[in-house]
Amino acid sequence: MQGWLAAQVPGTVASARRAAGLLDTANPPPLAFDDHWYRLTLTGTGKRRLRLHGLATLAEVWLDGIKRLDSDSMFVAHDLDIELHGSATLALCFRSLTPALAAKRSRARWRPRLVTPSTLRNVRTTLLGYMPGWCPQVQAVGPWRPIEILSDASHAFDTLDLGSRLEDDDGVVSLTLHFLHPHDGNACDALLNCGGSVSSLKWSDAYTLTGSVRVPHAERWWPHTHGEPTLYPLTLQLDDARATSHSLGSIGFRSIEADRGADGTGFALRVNGTPVFCRGACWTSADLVTLGGTEAQLRHAFTLARDAGMNMLRVGGTMVYESDTFYALADEYGLLVWQDFALANFDYPNDAAFGASIEREATQFLTRTRRFASLAVLCGGSEVDQQAAMFGLPASMRAQPLFTGLLPAIVARERPDVPYVSNSPSGGAWPFSTNEGITHYYGVGAYQRPLDDVRRSQVRFAAECLAFANVPDSATLSDATGTIHPHDPRWKAAVPRDPGAGWDFDDVRDHYLQTLYGIEPARLRYEDPERYLDVSRAVVAELMSDVFAEWRRAGSTCGGALVWQLQDLRPGAGWGLIDATGRPKSALHGLARTLQPIQLLITDEGLNGLDIHLLNERPQPLHAQLDLVCLRDGCVKVVSASRAIELEPHSTQRIGAAECLGQFFDFTHAYRFGPRAHDVTIATLRDPASGQIVSEAVHLPERHAGERHELGLTARAQRTADGWQLIIEAKRFARFVHIIDAHYRAAHDWFHLPPNRPCAVPLQRIEELVADASNAVFKADATCETPAGEVRALNALSATFYG
């Protein structure tokens, strides 16, 4: 018996234990299978409204020893009207899930292996903490969302419902505002101001204001890759005796439609009438222990995603509905959100009580997020149809009215401006068919298919893809796991695996080391573990880059793809593009070379040579110069060409390298008339006025990573007005340049460096994720002065040191 612990709310039992130094996240206790009590003394006099935004998961609310409320879903909010007479004790009891999981319910048609126990289908809680093999078993228990006593001020808001729509060229904001206390409508005029456009509101009763304001010729909100994510500030002016003004945040105007293609079997989005290739990753949680994370944590992750060229995040059905701060930041950063309802894998109950719970949950969520422009897709659930199909059930037996009737009706009522899809994946003879509808593509990845499978699979939209055991930097491995050796048990404990499989995702990555790089992983791992880690980081960066180049090329049928997943839930070689300390991995840097709004790509077309693809997603035309060069021995120019390029806004262009060169050259070494004449092709897009590089792509006719050379690599730190940068130069082509510094992080890393061209890489002070009793915060390391570290390249004989 440990007695009472201080507990921050919002928070969880796990976060209270972590703050007290009583939580081992690697081996947490089964928190959801015990009872837990919270208590607080309330003071005051008079009637109050207690708002409980989320209680995980079976909860009771007691006031002075009298039970006032039962809750059986962590995804719904509750209001409780109370009356105080001085002081009172508020107590929350979170009950064990054991009785609910043992209760008799309808028999499921299938039992997925992902989740343990399978009877969680009956309980409205997150699956985080119940998925052995890839998620730490930190279970959600406690008041994970805020608990507030609504203000007793005369102008205190009860509920605020905001929405926006487009009418021709104008933007319209609609408002319904309920106050806690009555107002005299005759003595209190109300005005709604949206970016300078003002309209009067009406009192529908003493508590409720309604109305709208029209913004003429409203600027559109865009994903940041295609324009500006324009937001308009909203202000409520109450002209009564106090003449008060209230900020209502901001709002954006956009249209979003699903484009099923000419054959009706595709899936893509049109934002404001413009096709958008959606790319990004699947969100997990900024902090698995609190299930929330701070604004600083969210901003950190959003900044990394935006700077990598991502424009969409998917909140999957195995996760939680995120906070208002999450969606507001998505609006601000110009990131689209694909949102699953919190349903995944199971054959869910079909009784009236369960349906009523889902309707309340979904309605509350859609009402709460109605104002956010970034919400782009609503999805019934994750891998539900897939599970049924893989168990052999025909389409007639795997349908669930929850996804085909109830949820689409709620979406049509509450968010008709957001496309709805029944499941991810869905479409085709099998729900997971790659060439129809929405798929989860792991051909390159878990199924160990060759790279040409990406084109053969004809992916239309991959709501999940490309899961690899992505290796963090050595500094993270050492700091967070205490080991950098890939055969240490602590390493293997963090490598994700599918339940029941005889392999893990280290094995998947090793497969591509062998087939793509010609490396025997086991031998290299024990002979040179540091080299093994470096080539492991490089190969996933290359795979990520090449797959997305294929999907983004001119003529591709793919409308978008989201990597599984954005951030790790624990330290180690997890699926995340960002590690558990918040540092980007090589995979994120690899993606950043392929996901930018102005992008040059190269695809290998075999006997047809190389195709160069030019993409301009910006609303302005692009005038640039295209340079093409092939090098032998990484430094000797064999052939070269240049031409002027003009791209219309939101357009793509394909140019054959042979057409650009104007003569035969075996770019891909497909004809094999004698020895290979070159070892690298570099295509560069430049601003013709300044010569500045806009985008660059590299093709290697031979990818094997065994050869290493003296590259003449130099590096020196240089102070700038904004801090520090590293000037790197090489005499020969340097493959996958990587910067290691104990105190600084390279803004660009794992990149290719052409010869005799200095490259300036900004250095950013490493932000360490520091957990304390209050919450997790980012704070910069202020102890370092001059950068000092090393620069490595995959094809370099040795590292180059600086500082």
* CA-based end-to-end distance of the chain: 53
Percent of the chain exceeding pLDDT 70 equals: 97
Give me the mean pLDDT over the 176-189 stretch: 90
Q: How would you classify the pairing of strands 312-315 and 336-340?
A: parallel
Residue 458 CA from chain centroid, whole number: 24
pLDDT of the residue at 782: 46
- C-alpha R_g of the chain: 28
Find where tokens 């915060």 sit.
777
- Calculate the CA dihedral of residues 498, 494, 338, 326 and round it to 10 degrees: 150
pLDDT of the residue at 776: 39
Does 2 score more than 80 pLDDT? no
Find where tokens 């900020």 sit.
247
The span from the CA of 780 to the CA of 768, in Å, is 7
Q: What is the DSSP string of 14-31?
A: HHHHHHTT---TTS---G
Let me know if 91 is exposed, middle or buried by CB neighbors in 10 A (0-12, 13-18, 19+).
middle
CB of 458 within 8 A of CB of 267? Answer: no
Give the range among 185-189, 235-239, 332-336, 786-790 with minimum mean pLDDT. Answer: 185-189
Query: Which residue intervals of 308-394 are DSSP H helices?
Result: 324-333, 352-368, 384-390
Contacts with 104 (C-beta within 8 Å, 6 or more apart), sequence order: none
Using 50, 70 and 90 to split pLDDT, how confident is the model at 775?
A: very low
Give the range among 153-157, 194-198, 343-347, 595-599 with minimum mean pLDDT. Answer: 153-157
Does 777 score more than 70 pLDDT? no
State both tokens at 124: 């409205």
State both tokens at 439: 């798929």
Neighbours of 606 (CB within 10 A): 9
pLDDT of the residue at 765: 87
Total length of the chain: 803
Does 193 score more than 90 pLDDT? yes
What are the CA-CA distances from residue 507 to residues 492, 514, 566 (Å)? 11, 11, 21
pLDDT in tens, 48-104: 999 999 999 999 999 999 999 999 999 999 999 999 999 999 999 999 999 999 998
pLDDT in tens, 205-215: 999 999 999 99
The mean predicted confidence, pLDDT, of the chain is: 93
Using 50, 70 and 90 to split pLDDT, how confident is the model at 105?
A: confident
Q: What is the DSSP letter of 709?
A: B
Give the range among 63-77, 234-248, 773-787 with minimum mean pLDDT. Answer: 773-787
Q: What is the DSSP letter of 33?
A: G
For residue 414, which of 375, 459, 450, 446 has the smallest C-alpha distance? 375
Strands of the 202-205 sheet, one edge to the other? 157-167, 170-179, 208-215, 202-205
Question: What residue type is 310 in one-letter code?
Answer: M
Describe the crossing of helices 324-333 and 295-307 by its angle, rounded to 10 degrees: 30
CB of 91 within 8 A of CB of 52? Answer: no
What are the CA-CA distances from residue 202 to residues 85, 184, 191, 651 (Å)? 36, 12, 9, 46
pLDDT in tens, 320-335: 999 999 999 999 999 9
Q: How would you classify the pairing of strands 714-720 and 693-699?
A: unpaired
What residue ranges in 621-686 does DSSP mark as E strands? 622-632, 636-647, 651-656, 680-686
Does 553 score more than 90 pLDDT? yes
pLDDT in tens, 217-227: 999 999 999 99
The span from the CA of 631 to the CA of 207, in Å, is 74
Q: How would you classify the pairing of strands 759-765 and 723-729?
A: antiparallel
The span from the CA of 576 to the CA of 567, in Å, is 4
Helices (H), strands (E): how many in the chain? 17, 41
Find where tokens 């605020």 sit.
160
Q: What is the DSSP letter of 171?
A: E
pLDDT of the residue at 781: 44
pLDDT in tens, 265-303: 999 999 999 999 999 999 999 999 999 889 999 999 999
645: left (phi over 0), alpha (psi -120 to 50) or beta: beta
- At 457, is the secondary structure helix, strand, or coil? coil
pLDDT in tens, 457-489: 999 999 999 999 999 998 888 776 666 677 777
pLDDT of the residue at 767: 62
The span from the CA of 236 to the CA of 735, in Å, is 57
Q: Which domains does the chain have, with CATH numbers?
A: 13-149 (2.60.120.260), 448-594 (3.20.20.80), 598-699 (2.60.40.10), 714-802 (2.60.40)
Question: What residue type is 690 in one-letter code?
Answer: S
The span from the CA of 263 to the CA of 515, in Å, is 36
- For 281, phi then psi, to 5°, come to -155, 165
Does 241 score more than 70 pLDDT? no
pLDDT of the residue at 152: 78
The span from the CA of 358 to the CA of 348, in Å, is 11
State both tokens at 374: 């970034």
What does the longest C-alpha to C-alpha distance in the chain come to? 94
pLDDT of the residue at 113: 85
For residue 498, which of 107, 57, 135, 23 has the smallest C-alpha distance? 135
pLDDT in tens, 116-174: 999 999 999 999 999 988 889 999 999 999 999 998 777 789 999 999 999 999 999 99
Question: What residue type is 143 in one-letter code?
Answer: P
- Which helix (H) or strand (E) segment is 245 a member of? strand 244-251
